[in-house]
Every structure is written in structure tokens, then in C-alpha cells.
Amino acid sequence: MRYAETGYNLEIDLSTGNIEKVETDPKLTELHLGGLGTNAKIMWDRVPPEIEPFSPDNLLIFSSGLLGGTPAPAANRTIVTTISPQTRLVAFSMMGGFFAPELKFAGYDKVIIRGKSPGLVYLWIKDDEVEIRDASHLQGKGSLETSELIKQELNEPKAQVASIGLAGENRVYFSSIEHSRSSASRGGLGAVMGDKKLKAIAVRGTKDINIARPEEFIKLCNEVLQYIQWRADNPIKHVPPILAGLGSPQEMAIHDEEWHTTAFSWGNARYRRKDFWTEEVEKEWTKVQEGAVERLISCYNCPMKCGAVISYPSQELSKYMMKCYSKLTYVMGAMADDLEFGFRIAGLAQAYGVDGFSAPQVMAFAVELYENGILTDEDMPDFPADNEGRFFYLLEKIVRREGIGDVLANGVYWAARQIGKGAEEYDHNTIKKHEQIPIKLGMLNPIFFLLLATGEKINITQIEGQLPQAPFPNPEDRKEFVKDWIQAPSDRIKEFFLKWEPRGEYSFPFYPDFQTACELVEWQETMHYIDDALGLCAGLSSFPIKPPYHINNLPQIISAATGLDIDRDELWNKIIKRNRNLIRAANVRRGLRRKDDKPPQDHWRKRFPEHEAKLLDEYYKFKGWNKEGIPTKETLEGLGIGYVGEDLEKRGIYNEQSEEND
């Protein structure tokens, strides 16, 4: 019997209409766990670098994680993996909600989609019955509307649906896949789905998931729930309210937005507004939010309520669901000041299915180009004068790929190069061709430098976590923090935190030492890679400070669920390293090199090029990568994936002349 996983994948060829249920090799679970791990293996084996994002041979994988659908709280992530049209690298965005557990209950760990359908279709999975159905009547429909219509026509109110909106249909490079209260947004996965002419996947399952050591497993789950309750009464002190609790983060419940609005930058990642947050703003925004939020809602089997049912009277879609801080990304991108605008445009943007982080930045970039005369009235006929109007205008153009929208739909990086006339100068907040969160700070943070530069998940909130973002000024507070820090990976990390000061010898950028910096970075990244293999929400694991899931209890949880005996060393130093290197190698094969491992240009005012280069050198060494950031043959061999090194060698990648680095 297979435990925690179903042991089956669904292979769908949209070109031929072929549907196959394929048993998976249990050995792969031991090597890679599931979710992102086994997705990475499939991508490596079946999608060589010659395959373009919009080739029928590109795969689009919807995967549950190894723990998905088990009673483990918040094991609900769907890990979607493909080659991104924007970054041209392996993209692996996740979404919460209910999709992955339902897929497991239908009897599948993954749906692997290849080919391209001649006409718009959707996939309907009900336990053993799988059908490709016509979706021509759903063309142009909003993402949520699509899922409602599908449930109605199938007469299956309990089906879970993942769908794309107009943006995905039109292959906008930052289009999302939307599902219930969540979305898989980063990397333009929706565009690949649209390219395959797959409007949606609907799934309903009524089968069992087995647990290997039930008593032990449920006891661990109960401990997780108890810790969640304890943390609710014991928020982290000395950090902004939005970072004090668990969840991912609970933007719909929290009104104090001082941290986001004053520490993050507005417009095209340009201006910090340190005085923005006043009592008056807080009062007004609280009123708006309370008026819009009808109910706080959770994902499958999680108590955290990070999302909300939003009802907005002045809006075409009377209701939608919102999470995270997309309520602010449009407001801040447009320099709009009023939260009401945020709720209005976010609902529309979600119906069209665009990434709530990238879309506002692309639009802010366009506004800046217009203000600087690079884009003109010729490019943007009837461009409104007010910021809010401009954002609505741009959104409509982009999702239809109409006029200038056709260029902007490729994201800041590609649009800047297509527009030319100096537009590249305004592309200052992308990494690896992808828009980043607009942070603007003073002193270089060596830990974030490495996380941002080398992270292939491309989104910092999905790379960092568990460590307070700034030192606690008072040593007594640090001692108190460390006392019950059961999540810390080692004493060295605790010592680092105890000594860490805002200024002086033990402060950034030269503190911590290289070895500690590398350990900190690898620990944070490892936690996310564990979550992505297990299908756990980062909001209860890798992201918040002192979460209920951590490196010290996860090995036992995995072992109890699956019956595999996995200890911490095996998990971290074998399985996760293997997965991490497989992704790295797949991207190296697609051209990723040291020159791409950079943070956004304007993230910090004070930069230290020499120190940064040294940090990168040391981190590469720590990872077992060469000077170009390429996993060495020995490293890959040691992880039992020597075939990856052989492939890189055959392609001549180890013999390249290393380019001069900037």
C-alpha cells in the first residue's frame, strides 16, 4: 500500500486527447518526496532546454505535495510547475485552497499536461472518470465565474476548480491560475495553461488517503494545532504586527499597515512614504476594509483565515475572495492612497487572472514611461489623467493584449527591451526577468542579498522566513526570544541572533561571518523546499517566525505519515539538496549563470560590490557549486543524481569560459 501519496499520476495529452493513469515509482518518493521534488525530476527528464515555454512539449504539472490531503494542518498546496514564458526558467508557483487535497481524494498525486488542444477545453476529473470537455462557451469568462459555471453545468457543487481568466487565454506573461481563494501567480503559469487552450481543471474525489503510523501521526498533528493556539496568545514581540502572528500573513484581518506602506516603496518601486501612515489613514482604511470583508476564510484544513470573502458594492463582480497583500500592491503601485481602489481593481484583476505582485508593477512602469515621454499619447490613446483611471486603462489593455498592452503583457523586462528609447533604465526592480516586491532600504542585508540573488523561486516571500528581519536592539529581548526558539536549526544560529545588533561590530553588512550567513540562507531556503515537496503552506512553516512546523519536527511528521524513516540529515542534506540541485541544474541548462544571481538594483542604498562578490563565492562553495553557480559533478554525484552532472558535461557547460562578473 502507498501511504500519504496515492501512487498514481494522471497523464493528459491535449493534442491527442489521450488520458492515462500511471502508477509511479515508490523509489522516487524516497529520493524526492513529492510535490516540487518529483515535479523537478519530471521536468528534468522530460523537458530539455530546447523546449520553449509555448511548445506543445512543455509540461504543465499540477501536483499535490506528499502530505497534501492528509490530516496534517495546512497541507493543501498545489504546486504548479512549467517553463515560464517570462523567465524562461523552471517556474514553480503554489496555490492554497482546496484543489490538491481533492485531487488526492480522486486518486492522483499529479496531473501532468502536455500537448495543445485545438480548441478551448477543460478537464473534468471525478475519481476514475476523466474527461476533456469543450470550453468554448467559457472563452473570455472571469476565473471565478468560470469555476462557478463549470460546477453548475456538471451539477457538482463540491468540485474544486482551477481556472484562468482572459489574461491566461491571451498568454500574458504574468497571468495566474486562480482557484477559490488562492492563486498560483508567479512566473506566468496561466499563460502556459492558456497556450495549451486549457481553460480549467475541475476535480472531485471520494477516495481514501492512508497513513502509515496513524497514532503517532495524529499526535503530531494535534501538537501542531496546540502550538497554533499557543502562538495566537503569544505573538512575537518587537516585530511589526503583520509579522507577529502565524499565517501567510493575515492581511484581511489586520488593519495596521504601517510597515507595508512606509517600508515598501510606491509607484514603480521608487518612493518610500515614511509619513504616509497617519491616524486618519488608519481610521479610513479600517472602515473601508471592514466594509469590504464579509468573512475571514481559510484554506483546506487550516485554522488561520488568511483570506476573506470580499463584497464590493460598486463592483461588477459583487463578490470575490482575497488574500495576502494584493489589497495594497495596486494602491501603492498607482500611488492611489485609497484602499477602496485596491479592493475594486484587485477583484477585476483576479477575474482576468493576473499576478497581484507583477501586474501593478508593470502598470507603474508604464505610467513612469509615459510621464517621462518614452511612451506617448500615440501609444496610449485617451490615457486618463488620474492614477486610478490609468491603472484600470492599462489593465484592460494588457489582458486583451491591445495596443501597448501587447508589449506590456510581456512584463517589465521584455517590454522595456521592446519599447527601447531608454525604457531599460526604468526596469530596475526585476530579477531573472521577473518583477520583485518593491522594497527600498538603506544598508545591504547580506542574508537577503544571498536569498534574493540565488533564489530560483524568484519571490522573496517564498524564499525567506523564520528569522526576524531586523535585530532586536535590546539584548534582554534577544535572550527571551531565543529561550523557546525550538525552530532554530543550530546553536550557531541562536548565537548569531543573540549577538546581532542594529549598529556597530555585530551589524550588517559584515556581520554575520560568511559561514553563518551561508547557513542562515540555506536553512531558510531548505524550509521552503521542504514545504513545496510536502504541499505545506509556508504560512505555518517556512515563512513566519516560530511556526508550528519546523526543521526539528518535520522529519518525524513525514516518517509517521509515509512509513519511510527519514531523519533530519536525510531530509535536509540528501533529499532537499537533491531537489534544490535538480532545479538549479535544470535552470543552468537553460542558461542561468552567475550573472543572473543578482538582487534588484535599487533594493539597498548602501552597496558593497566586493563583499557581495565574496558572499556569492562563499555561498556557491557552501552549496557545492562552482564559481558560475553551477552544481559540480561531484556534488551531483554525492546526491545520487550523477546523471545530471553527465548531462551538463555533455552539453559542455563545465567547459565554458567563465564570464567577467559585474
Partner 1 sequence: MSKVKKTIKVIKINADLCNGCRACEVICSAFHASPKYSVNNPARARIRVVFDPVKNIYVPVYAGGYMAAECMGRDKYLIDGKEYEECAFCRSACPSRDAFKEPDSGLPLKCDMCEDDPPQEEPLCVQWCLADALTYEEREEEVDEELELDDMETGLRALADKYGFQNIVDAVARMSQKDEI
Footprint of partner 1 on this chain (CB under 8 A)? Answer: 69-71, 73, 98, 105, 144, 148, 157-158, 180-181, 205-211, 214-215, 217-218, 225, 228-229, 294-303, 305, 309, 311, 319, 321
Nearest CA among 640, 502, 515 for reference residue 577: 640
Minimum gap (Å) between residue 170 Cβ and ligand SF4: 28
Minimum gap (Å) between residue 320 Cβ and partner 1: 8
Minimum gap (Å) between residue 580 Cβ and partner 1: 30
- The dihedral through the CA atoms of 431, 526, 182, 89 has a sign that is positive
| Burial (CB count <10 Å: 0-12, 13-18, 19+), residue 158 | exposed
3-state secondary structure at position 275: coil
291 binds, among partner 1, ligand SF4, none (CB under 5 to 8 A by kind): none
d(CA 637, CA 631): 10
Minimum gap (Å) between residue 246 Cβ and ligand SF4: 7
Which 91-110 positions form the footprint of ligand SF4 (CB under 6 A)? Answer: 96
Given the complex with partner 1, which of 292 and 571 has the nearer CB atom?
292
Minimum gap (Å) between residue 539 Cβ and ligand SF4: 3
The one-letter code for the residue type at 221 is C
Given the complex with ligand SF4, which of 96 and 471 has the nearer CB atom?
96
Minimum gap (Å) between residue 644 Cβ and partner 1: 36
d(CA 186, CA 87): 10
Query: How many residues line the site for ligand SF4 (CB under 6 A)?
Result: 14
Across 40-109, the runs of DSSP E, i.e. the strands, are 60-64, 78-83, 90-95
d(CA 272, CA 259): 11
d(CA 44, CA 37): 11
**SS3 letters for 523-556?**
HHHHHHHHHHHHCECHHHCCCCCCCCCCCCCHHH
Given the complex with ligand SF4, which of 74 and 288 has the nearer CB atom?
74
Asked if 585 contacts 44 with a C-beta cutoff of 8 angstroms, the reply is: yes
Kindly write out the interface string for residues 231-260 of this chain, putting x where it contacts ligand SF4 by CB under 6 A and - elsewhere. Answer: ----------------xx------------
Given the complex with partner 1, which of 297 and 437 has the nearer CB atom?
297
Given the complex with ligand SF4, which of 550 and 603 has the nearer CB atom?
550
Nearest CA among 46, 112, 54, 63 for reference residue 84: 54
d(CA 412, CA 418): 10
* CA torsion angle 329 330 334 336 (round to 10): -100
Peptide bond into 241 cis (omega under 30): no
96 binds, among partner 1, ligand SF4, none (CB under 5 to 8 A by kind): ligand SF4
Given the complex with ligand SF4, which of 297 and 398 has the nearer CB atom?
297
Given the complex with partner 1, which of 301 and 358 has the nearer CB atom?
301
DSSP 594: G
Given the complex with ligand SF4, which of 213 and 305 has the nearer CB atom?
305
Q: Which residues pair with 8 in a beta bridge?
A: 23
Minimum gap (Å) between residue 494 Cβ and ligand SF4: 26
d(CA 524, CA 488): 10
CA-based radius of gyration for the chain: 23
248 binds, among ligand SF4, partner 1, none (CB under 5 to 8 A by kind): ligand SF4
Out of 14, 74, 202, 228, the only residue in the binding site for ligand SF4 (CB under 6 A) is: 74
* CA torsion angle 250 256 259 261 (round to 10): 100
Residue by residue, DSSP assigns 439-469 as: B-EEE--HHHHHHHHH-SS--GGGT--SS-S
Minimum gap (Å) between residue 212 Cβ and partner 1: 9
Minimum gap (Å) between residue 539 Cβ and partner 1: 13
Given the complex with partner 1, which of 90 and 144 has the nearer CB atom?
144
d(CA 70, CA 564): 16
Nearest CA among 372, 357, 352, 356 for reference residue 416: 372
Minimum gap (Å) between residue 301 Cβ and partner 1: 5
228 binds, among ligand SF4, partner 1, none (CB under 5 to 8 A by kind): partner 1
Q: How many CB atoms lie within 10 A of CB 153?
A: 14
537 binds, among partner 1, ligand SF4, none (CB under 5 to 8 A by kind): ligand SF4
Given the complex with ligand SF4, which of 100 and 493 has the nearer CB atom?
100
504 binds, among partner 1, ligand SF4, none (CB under 5 to 8 A by kind): none
540 binds, among partner 1, ligand SF4, none (CB under 5 to 8 A by kind): ligand SF4
Minimum gap (Å) between residue 533 Cβ and ligand SF4: 16
The one-letter code for the residue type at 239 is V
296 binds, among partner 1, ligand SF4, none (CB under 5 to 8 A by kind): partner 1
Minimum gap (Å) between residue 71 Cβ and partner 1: 5
Minimum gap (Å) between residue 305 Cβ and ligand SF4: 6
Given the complex with ligand SF4, which of 471 and 548 has the nearer CB atom?
548
Nearest CA among 322, 397, 14 for reference residue 143: 322
426 binds, among partner 1, ligand SF4, none (CB under 5 to 8 A by kind): none
- The dihedral through the CA atoms of 516, 522, 526, 527 has a sign that is positive
105 binds, among ligand SF4, partner 1, none (CB under 5 to 8 A by kind): partner 1
Which 277-306 positions form the footprint of ligand SF4 (CB under 6 A)? Answer: 298-299, 302, 304-306
**Left (φ > 0), alpha (ψ -120 to 50) or beta: where does 288 sit?**
alpha
Which 518-537 positions form the footprint of ligand SF4 (CB under 6 A)? Answer: 537
Using alpha carbons, list the distances in angstroms from residue 160 to 21, 23, 102, 137: 20, 23, 7, 19
d(CA 606, CA 611): 12
Q: Is 76 in the site for ligand SF4 (CB under 6 A)?
A: yes
Minimum gap (Å) between residue 80 Cβ and ligand SF4: 16
539 binds, among ligand SF4, partner 1, none (CB under 5 to 8 A by kind): ligand SF4
d(CA 179, CA 97): 7
Kindly write out the interface string for residues 530-569 of this chain, putting x where it contacts ligand SF4 by CB under 6 A and - elsewhere. Answer: -------x-xx-----------------------------
Nearest CA among 139, 121, 118, 143 for reference residue 131: 121
247 binds, among partner 1, ligand SF4, none (CB under 5 to 8 A by kind): ligand SF4
Task: At 476, list the grid cell.
Answer: 534582554
Interacting residues toward ligand SF4 by CB under 6 A? 74, 76, 96, 247-248, 298-299, 302, 304-306, 537, 539-540
